[in-house]
Amino acid sequence: MLLSIKDLTVDVDGQPILKGLNLEVKAGEVHAIMGPNGSGKSTLAHVLSGREGYEVTGGEVKYEDQDLLDLEVEERARKGLFLAMQYPVELPGVNNTVFLREALNAIRAERGEPALSAVDFMKLMQEKLKIVEMKPDLLKRSVNAGFSGGEKKRNEILQMAVLEPKLAILDETDSGLDIDALRIVADGVNALRSPERGMILVTHYQRLLDYIEPDFVHVLANGKIIRSGDKSLALELEEKGYNWVLEEAVA
Q: Mutual orientation of helices 118-131 and 149-163 as an angle, nearest 10°?
A: 120
When asked if residue 99 is in the footprint of other proteins (CB under 8 A), the reply is: yes
When asked if residue 128 is in the footprint of other proteins (CB under 8 A), the reply is: no
Among 13, 37, 89, 179, binds other proteins (CB under 8 A): 89
Query: Based on CB atoms, which residue is closest to other proteins, 166 or 183?
Result: 166
H/E stretch holding 232: helix 231-240
When asked if residue 102 is in the footprint of other proteins (CB under 8 A), the reply is: yes
Among 43, 159, 173, 203, binds other proteins (CB under 8 A): 159
By CB atoms closer than 10 A (0-12, 13-18, 19+), residue 210 is middle
Among 27, 103, 122, 235, binds other proteins (CB under 8 A): 103
Return the closest-CA partner of residue 129 out of 151, 158, 156, 159.
158
Query: Based on CB atoms, which residue is closest to other proteins, 80 or 214?
Result: 80
Q: Total binding residues for other proteins by CB under 8 A? A: 34
Among 17, 77, 134, 189, binds other proteins (CB under 8 A): 77
When asked if residue 74 is in the footprint of other proteins (CB under 8 A), the reply is: yes
Answer yes or no: are the C-beta atoms of 39 and 221 closer than 8 Å.
yes
When asked if residue 51 is in the footprint of other proteins (CB under 8 A), the reply is: yes
Separation CA 75–CA 202 (nearest Å): 22
Separation CA 165–CA 172 (nearest Å): 18
What is the CA angle 220-189-98, rounded to 5?
110
Separation CA 137–CA 10 (nearest Å): 41
Q: Is 36 helix (H, G, I), strand (E, B) or coil?
A: coil
Phi, then psi, of 191 in degrees rounded to 5? -65, -25
Answer yes or no: are the C-beta atoms of 201 and 208 closer than 8 Å.
yes
When asked if residue 209 is in the footprint of other proteins (CB under 8 A), the reply is: no
What secondary structure letter does DSSP report for 2? -
- 7 alpha carbon, distance to own chain's centre: 21
Among 35, 88, 188, 198, binds other proteins (CB under 8 A): 88
Query: Based on CB atoms, which residue is closest to other proteins, 166 or 207?
Result: 166
Separation CA 45–CA 42 (nearest Å): 5
Among 35, 50, 188, 198, binds other proteins (CB under 8 A): 50
When asked if residue 152 is in the footprint of other proteins (CB under 8 A), the reply is: no
Nearest distance from C-beta of residue 142 to other proteins, angstroms: 7
Query: Based on CB atoms, which residue is closest to other proteins, 110 or 133?
Result: 110
x/- mask, other proteins, residues 211-240, rule CB under 8 A, reads ------------------------------
Which chain residues interact with other proteins by CB under 8 A? 49-52, 69-70, 72-74, 76-78, 82-83, 85, 88-95, 98-99, 102-104, 106-107, 110, 142, 159, 163
